[in-house]
């Protein structure tokens, strides 16, 4: 029973380790993510409110059609 739990925990942690970069590359990874968010900030400010309005419009239309 303990061995099965060990193998289940070990194999479930493998995908997490594959997605997480090694510690020596972590600062480069974080700096790349920060740079990406800085570059897309203006685009997100224009697009996100439009998606928000469209989502609420669709939600209102769906709720009014069920009544």
- Give the integer Cα–Cα distance in Å for 61 and 4: 51
Residue 1 resides in a domain: no
Residue 45 resides in a domain: yes
Better-scored residue on pLDDT, 25 or 55: 55
Read off the pLDDT of residues 31-46 as tens digits, 9 standing for 90 and up: 888 888 888 888 877 8
Read off the pLDDT of residues 40-63 as tens digits, 9 standing for 90 and up: 888 877 888 888 888 888 888 888
How many folded domains does the chain comprise? 1
Residue 47 resides in a domain: yes
Residue with tokens 């974080």: 30
Residue 5 resides in a domain: no
């Amino acid at each position: 029973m303990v061995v099965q739990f060990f193998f289940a925990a070990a194999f479930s942690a493998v995908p997490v380790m594959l997605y997480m970069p090694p510690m020596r590359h972590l600062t480069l990874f974080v700096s790349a993510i920060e740079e990406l968010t800085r570059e897309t900030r203006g685009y997100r400010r224009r697009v996100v409110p439009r998606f928000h309005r469209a989502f609420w419009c669709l939600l209102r239309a769906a709720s009014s059609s069920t009544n």
